[in-house]
Chain A
Amino acid sequence: LAYTIMPTINVYRDLLFEALGKVYTDEEFDELCFEFGIELDEVTSEKQMLVREQGEGKAKDASDSIIYKVEVPANRYDLLCMEGLARGLMVFLGRMDAPRYRVVKSVGSLQRMIVKPETSLVRPFGIGAVLRNIAFTQESYNSFIELQDKLHQTIGRRRTIVSMGTHDLDTIEGPFTYEALPPEEIKFRPLNQTKEYTAVEMMELYSKDSHLRHYLSIIQDKPVYPVIYDRNRVVLSMPPIINGDHTRVSIKTKNVFIEITSTDLNKAKIVLDTLVAMFSQYCSDPFSVECTEIEWPDGSVELYPKLGYREETVSVDLINRKVGISESAESIASLLTRMCLKSEVVERGGEG
């Protein structure tokens, strides 16, 4: 018990206050963070950060909008974006009920992704979900990209364990296949490029990219590289390196297909659940997520995301004894509900 490293997120203060429906002074917000269990690390702006890192010259056109750097606990993947942070605080403050996330099974447009056996040689697990009728703004779009990066860096362990790709569903056609092929056989136009490259060429191309070169070694020496195709052999992505340019998501995108690939199924589930829970708020049916069928190599079919809720019954007496307080059952239920653990009093008398 010395100290633990905590992840930090940058949120635009004014956007956050808009989501919270209230304006705070820095001191008031700092106090709120303390009570909630997070930390307001720094108050800065894009301009100030650039001045510090790259000098006055580079910062000339940068934004002055205030940014809050907030430190969040390592186990709270939901607090890695402004949406999750605002939601957590709103429920904590009693200003909103925690949303109930729902998985809906579409009739007529249910997507399927088939996982081929060769993927077990490099990155065995592939799951997915659809965000239907989503409306992005520039801010929510940026936040969507940011969260993916944060998840990559934390639970994804720098993409080695989990990585994700998001795609404009209207540009592709299922069923999708998650395959693993020799690098020479993979050829597509990667994001932001003007021509097609083979996977071998991409390894060379991205070896000079300051951002992507760190991930190449995850698959570089493998006999086969992971790749996801749609029914017309359009490449969605080559995980964990890069998406195809064809399916790029923009502010105008209405339907998003999310694919998660990983070496650990449990972590893939957590990442998928987190991403859809956070951004389903912008769907026309808020907090609803359309599921995808995943066909595993052994032929079994599962629906994702799980968005499973778990019910536990706890003794009020036990809680009081462990903490050293004496709160009523109702009080404890309400306090837990404020922390997004929706609780109700069940039995009376004795244990409850």
Chain B
Amino acid sequence: MSAAEALCELILAELEKEKRIDSYDFSVKIGKDHQSIVGAIKSIRSLGDVITTEQRQFESWVLTQEGKEMVEKGSHEARMFASVSSQEGSLQADLMKSVPNAKIGFSKAMSAGWIRLDKTAQGGPRVFRKVESIQDHVQEKLCRVMECSSVDCLTEDQLKEFKKRKLLTNVVTKCFVVTCGPSFSTQLVKQETELTPEMIQSGSWKTKQFKAYNFDSLGTPVTAGHLHPLMKVRAEIRQIFLEMGFTEMPTNNFIESSFWNFDALFQPQQHPARDSHDTFFLKDPATSNQFPEEYLQKVKTVHEDGGDTGSVGYRYDWKREEAEKNILRTHTTAISARMLYQLGQKEFTPVKYFSIDRVFRNETLDATHLAEFHQIEGVVADYDLTLGNLMGMLYQFFSKMGITRLRFKPAYNPYTEPSMEVFSYHEGLKKWVEIGNSGVFRPEMLLPMGLPEGVAVIAWGLSLERPTMIKYGIDNIRELVGHKVNLQMVHANPLCRLDS
């Protein structure tokens, strides 16, 4: 039989004799490693009710390596003392180099009054013995602790000091107290895991012990794909929009022309957001040149002097070359612009659109901002929509995520007026935090698109990353998106259910 099995039998034999075993004491008694005793006990336990076990733990103080060394060779300060020549003393520099743990030894020996330092000595600072002989109390005490395996011989202060000097450590030992179980036997009976035809034929099954079924074990995990938490939250938000009767916009283009991304939205050409500090421009293809020409002219006019929208415009010279520049879109509002233009080309019907897709901004990266993120956008177009309608929409939308307390703050966007930042009350942080941006699209944007004058378009947006990070308790966006993501996080994170 194996060594492990032999150990088990030894334990069982001892148990029969003594009726009760403490695993630690037993390991000391037979001189075997405690951990293997524990292992043996556990495997006996798995066979059924052969033994009953109770856990106990105790603390003990053990000498560290350094402590053991001191018992052998003396404390650092004693060794320092010994190294100092009794006649002429020794150069401090030499001592520091030659004596092990010189620094501690020196300072301890100084404070014990065993040595003194003469800084003015010829040839350099010199150390002299101050007393004839010393008693190495530290070594004595440590010796005693080792002998009686207890710290009773130390005062509380001494114990504290030795702990501080890392000469002793507190060790917690967990062991078992073992007693005989209902099915006790000194024989290791192996449990069968299979009912074989031979057992049935021979009838041996009547006397064999069978291992119990474990109904708590999980099956082998199936290898499967896992949705990234952003995709899970995206699916939930998509569901919210669909429930509210919204239609998804086609956002399958990361690359957009400046025309649709900025100009069509009435964002002026020399706006800060349009330069390379905030936007990624494409090298190849660098420009687009296919635009609805009549519409483009209207956009040009409205930028320059407001056209016939009643606005004064931006009063600058609008340049086609600027509009032609291709970029990685900075918002999915570019798609909304395309959709609203399409809507303006035919007879008007009210619509509700949404999109959730990736956008790109050339910004400083930090714990909560990356160069690419996902934008959620909702757009509603109908006659006579008001700011009040926008607030109502926002209450509806966010309530489906369990957010009911909202506040609206006056804000500014180049293409919406009025604009509102949306805040919700964070119970944990006990303050109002921004959860989104919203507004009513400007007539300078809508009228050139051919939308009837009484039609108002309200819209709102937020990032997908923020709610995901809050939901999944992630602090740093780089743990969520990008090449530093731990794939285990994607495997292990739970289903997303937005509580409403």
Contacts and interface: CB of A to CB of B under 8 A. Distances in A.
Q: Which of B272, B375, B414 has most chain A Cβ within 10 Å?
A: B272
Contacts of A199: none
Q: Which of A3, A37, A267, A324 has most chain B Cβ within 10 Å?
A: A3
B197 to A, nearest CB: 70
Interface in B416-472: 416, 418, 432, 436-440, 456, 459-463
Interface stretch (A11-19, A73-81, A190-198, A220-228): A73-81
Nearest to A7: B272
B411 A37 contact: yes
Interface string A86-104: 0000000000000000000
Interface in A132-188: 154, 157, 161
Given A157-B275, A323-B386, A2 B463 contact: yes
Contacts of B359: 2
Given A34-B409, A73-B412, A4 B270 contact: no
B316 A2 contact: no
A157 B275 CA distance: 10
Contact of B412 (A74, A157, A310): A74
A107 interface: no
A322 B411 CA distance: 17
A334 to B, nearest CB: 17
B273 interface: yes
A322 B456 contact: yes
A73 B460 contact: no
Nearest to A3: B437
A322 B387 contact: yes
Interface SS of B by simple majority: strand
Contacts, number: 74
A3 B459 CA distance: 13
B388 A154 contact: no
Contacts of A76: 412
Interface residues of B, number: 41
Given A266-B315, A322-B387, A324-B386, A1 B437 contact: yes
Nearest to A310: B312
Contact of B387 (A73, A267, A324): A324
Given A1-B461, A324-B388, A161 B409 contact: no
A2 B375 contact: yes
Q: Which of A2, A310, A325 has most chain B Cβ within 10 Å?
A: A2
Contacts of B412: 4, 37, 73-76
B369 to A, nearest CB: 10
Given A1-B333, A264-B316, A266-B316, A161 B384 contact: no
Interface in A19-43: 34, 36-37
Contact of A2 (B409, B414, B461): B461
B387 to A, nearest CB: 5
B362 to A, nearest CB: 12
Nearest to A73: B412
B250 interface: no
Nearest to A2: B375
Interface string B299-327: 00000000000001011100000000000
Nearest to A154: B272
A4 B437 contact: yes
A15 to B, nearest CB: 25
B386 A321 contact: yes
Given A73-B411, A266-B316, A322-B456, A157 B270 contact: yes
A322 B417 CA distance: 11
A37 B409 contact: yes
Given A73-B412, A75-B412, A1 B270 contact: no
B413 interface: yes
B459 A1 contact: yes
Given A5-B273, A74-B272, A324-B387, A36 B331 contact: no
B389 interface: yes
Given A34-B409, A74-B412, A264-B316, A1 B377 contact: yes
A316 to B, nearest CB: 15
B278 interface: yes
B124 interface: no
Nearest to B312: A310
B223 to A, nearest CB: 37
B261 to A, nearest CB: 13
B410 interface: yes
Contacts of A1: 331, 333, 375, 377, 413, 416, 436-439, 459-461
B335 to A, nearest CB: 12
Nearest to B423: A34
Nearest to B361: A2
B270 A161 contact: yes
B252 to A, nearest CB: 19
B247 to A, nearest CB: 18
A323 B386 CA distance: 5
Contacts of B333: 1
A266 B411 CA distance: 24
Contacts of B270: 157, 161, 264, 267
Contacts of A5: 272-273, 278
A267 B414 CA distance: 16
B417 to A, nearest CB: 10
Interface string A291-317: 000000000000000000010000000
A73 B456 CA distance: 24
Contacts of A37: 409-412
Contacts of A154: 272
Nearest to B461: A1
Contacts of A34: 407, 409, 432
Given A154-B272, A266-B316, 15 more contacts: A1-B377, A1-B437, A1-B439, A2-B331, A2-B375, A4-B413, A34-B432, A37-B410, A37-B411, A157-B272, A157-B275, A266-B315, A310-B312, A323-B386, A324-B388
21 contacts: A1-B331, A1-B377, A1-B413, A1-B461, A3-B437, A3-B463, A4-B413, A5-B278, A34-B409, A73-B411, A73-B412, A76-B412, A157-B272, A264-B270, A264-B316, A266-B314, A267-B270, A322-B456, A324-B386, A324-B388, A324-B389
- 5 shortest interchain CB distances as A-B pairs: A324-B386, A324-B388, A1-B461, A37-B410, A73-B412
Interface of A: 1-5, 34, 36-37, 73-76, 154, 157, 161, 264, 266-267, 310, 321-325
